[in-house]
Structure 1
Amino acid sequence: MKIIGIGDNVVDIYQDRNEMFPGGNALNVAVLAKQNGAESAAFIGIVGTDVEGDHILDSLNKNLIETSHVRRAVGESGKAYVDLNVEGDRIFIKSNKGGVQAKLKLNLSVDDYEYIKAFDVVHTSIYSHLEEELPLLKQHLPVSYDFSNHFTTEQLEKVCPHIQFAFISGSDFTEVELEELFRKIHGLGTPFIIITRGSKGVIMSHHNKRYKQGIEEANVIDTLGAGDSFIAGFLTNHFNGFTIEESLKAAAQIAARTCEVNGAFGFGRQLTF
């Protein structure tokens, strides 16, 4: 299968380690898919002209991610600052709100769409602000979209008619709230709904048929990026022809492995400034 991630990219700056790692949902999914069975993967986004931007592009190139349609814009790359809480878990402290990405809109050109058509699926996220492009994107290939846990009803109504796969972080949802969400999103036209629930595992609905997948054991070092790796694992296996159950199982295994490294997929670089 061939996958393209479009939109958000950052460096996650681990303050306790004085180290930065490439990240961002759309970028992570492309890289993790390539690492776990995708024939090819590409990324389109806006990257700053700083050291962090250089590291993002270098990491993509070393992971054999196609970057021919990446834009570089003068300014800061996206930065998210991460630290340890009292339980030893990594948490986001602050960010530069996307850096130069927040000042510019990623407008997909005719040339971009000709390029995108060669892929099997496109993945983007609520942090990528591509909602206006979704009606055209869906005419070319299936769209996967990560809502994280920051969505509104208005956003669901705007996005869900144009996507095939909805990924949601929902560890705090009650069973009643889950069922209401499934009904809402299916009613808007999205056939695949996957809700990750942290230690509770994953619940999925495909055309109102439910599936559950527990978490896999891991020697946990860093949980950041586990959700992105689950998305990458599911999409890669699904488009490679595996069943839903097999794809969910493989995705859980890939997410567990991600928890055993720092950063979503490693490639840390010590800060010297």
Structure 2
Amino acid sequence: MKLIAIGDNVVDYYKDRGEIFPGGNALNVAVMGKRYHAASSSYIGILGSDRAAEHVKQTLLRENIDISRIRQAVGPNGEAVVSLNPEGDRVFVGSNAGGVQAFMGLRLNQEDLDYISSHDLLHTSIYSNLEQYLPTLQERIPISFDFSTRWTEAYLQRVCPYIDYGFFSGSDLSEDECHQLISRAHHLGTKVVGITRGALGAIFSEEGKLYRQRIVETEVVDTLGAGDSFIAMFLIQYHQHRDVAEALELAAAAAAKTCGHYGAFGYGIPKVG
């Protein structure tokens, strides 16, 4: 399976540790998808020109991610400031508003579209600003989309008709609210809908058939990246084998493993300046 992720990248700055770690939903899924045995994994996004951007770039190369279509621009890379509570849950306490990628916006050209079409599955997110391209991309490749916690009815209407997989973070949603959200996304055209709920596990639906997945108990060091690892493992397993229950079990185990270390997938370095 050939995976491509397009959109957001940042460094996560852990103030209490004085370290930065590569991150961002799209970038995390690209890296974790490759670790979870995608035949190949590619990433398209905009990097800055600072030390943080160079660290992200070198990390992607070390992880054997194809970055041949990546962009770089003069300016700061995206940065999120992270704090941890006593339970190890990550809390975002600040950012530089996305750095150069947010300032410029990613623009896809015909060469990009042809390159994207050579893959089997595309993943992107609400933080990637690709909504205008979804109708065109849908004609070329199945699409996975992470809504995080930021959706409205209007946004669902804009995105759900063009995606195959929709992921939501819903630890604050009631059981009824989860079912309503799943039904709405299905009605708008999304075939597989998943809601991760923190310690409550996950609720997924494959065209109306519901599945529940408990968390895998583990010693928590840092929860940052756990949701992205869940998504990456689910996509790699389900898209190839079409077994929701098995994909969810493996995804829960992957998320638990991610909670055992700092950063989404490691590579922390001291922050300078």
TM-score under structure 2 normalisation?
0.98
SS in 2 for 1:150: coil
Aligned length: 273
**What's the counterpart of residue 114 of structure 1?**
114
Map residues 170-189 of structure 1 onto 2, 5 A cutoff: 170-189=170-189
Residue 131, structure 1, aligned to residue 117, structure 2:
no
- Looking at structure 1, the residues matched to 240 and 190 of structure 2 have their Cα atoms a distance apart, in angstroms, of 21
- Looking at structure 2, the residues matched to 14 and 126 of structure 1 have their Cα atoms a distance apart, in angstroms, of 23
- Looking at structure 2, the residues matched to 70 and 88 of structure 1 have their Cα atoms a distance apart, in angstroms, of 33
- Looking at structure 2, the residues matched to 167 and 240 of structure 1 have their Cα atoms a distance apart, in angstroms, of 18
Map residues 69-148 of structure 1 onto 2, 5 A cutoff: 69-85=69-85, 87-148=87-148
- Looking at structure 2, the residues matched to 165 and 64 of structure 1 have their Cα atoms a distance apart, in angstroms, of 25
Deviations 1:98-141 (A, max 9, x none): 01111112111110111111111100000001000100111111
- Structure 2 portions without partners, runs of 5+: none
Residue identity matched to 2:38: A
**What's the counterpart of residue 190 of structure 1?**
190
**What's the counterpart of residue 164 of structure 2?**
164
**What's the counterpart of residue 230 of structure 1?**
230
**What's the counterpart of residue 45 of structure 1?**
45
SS in 2 for 1:94: strand
Shift of 1:86: 5.1
- Looking at structure 1, the residues matched to 88 and 144 of structure 2 have their Cα atoms a distance apart, in angstroms, of 32
Residue identity matched to 1:180: Q
**Identity rate of aligned residues, in percent?**
50
CA-atom RMSD, angstroms? 1.0
**What's the counterpart of residue 63 of structure 1?**
63
| Structure 1: 4+ residue segments shifted above 6 A | none
- Looking at structure 2, the residues matched to 117 and 88 of structure 1 have their Cα atoms a distance apart, in angstroms, of 39
Shift of 1:242: 5.2
Q: Larger deviation: 85-94 or 1-10?
A: 85-94
- Looking at structure 1, the residues matched to 119 and 242 of structure 2 have their Cα atoms a distance apart, in angstroms, of 18
- Looking at structure 2, the residues matched to 87 and 239 of structure 1 have their Cα atoms a distance apart, in angstroms, of 33
Residue 267, structure 1, aligned to residue 270, structure 2:
no
- Looking at structure 1, the residues matched to 88 and 66 of structure 2 have their Cα atoms a distance apart, in angstroms, of 35
SS in 1 for 2:8: coil
Q: Larger deviation: 104-113 or 233-242?
A: 233-242
- Looking at structure 2, the residues matched to 182 and 272 of structure 1 have their Cα atoms a distance apart, in angstroms, of 44
Residue identity matched to 1:31: V
TM-score under structure 1 normalisation?
0.98
Shift of 1:90: 2.6
- Looking at structure 1, the residues matched to 99 and 92 of structure 2 have their Cα atoms a distance apart, in angstroms, of 16
- Structure 1 portions without partners, runs of 5+: none
- Looking at structure 2, the residues matched to 187 and 242 of structure 1 have their Cα atoms a distance apart, in angstroms, of 21
**What's the counterpart of residue 19 of structure 1?**
19
Residue identity matched to 1:20: I
**What's the counterpart of residue 255 of structure 2?**
255
SS in 1 for 2:67: coil
- Looking at structure 1, the residues matched to 24 and 86 of structure 2 have their Cα atoms a distance apart, in angstroms, of 25
CA contact (8 A) 2:84 2:222 kept: no
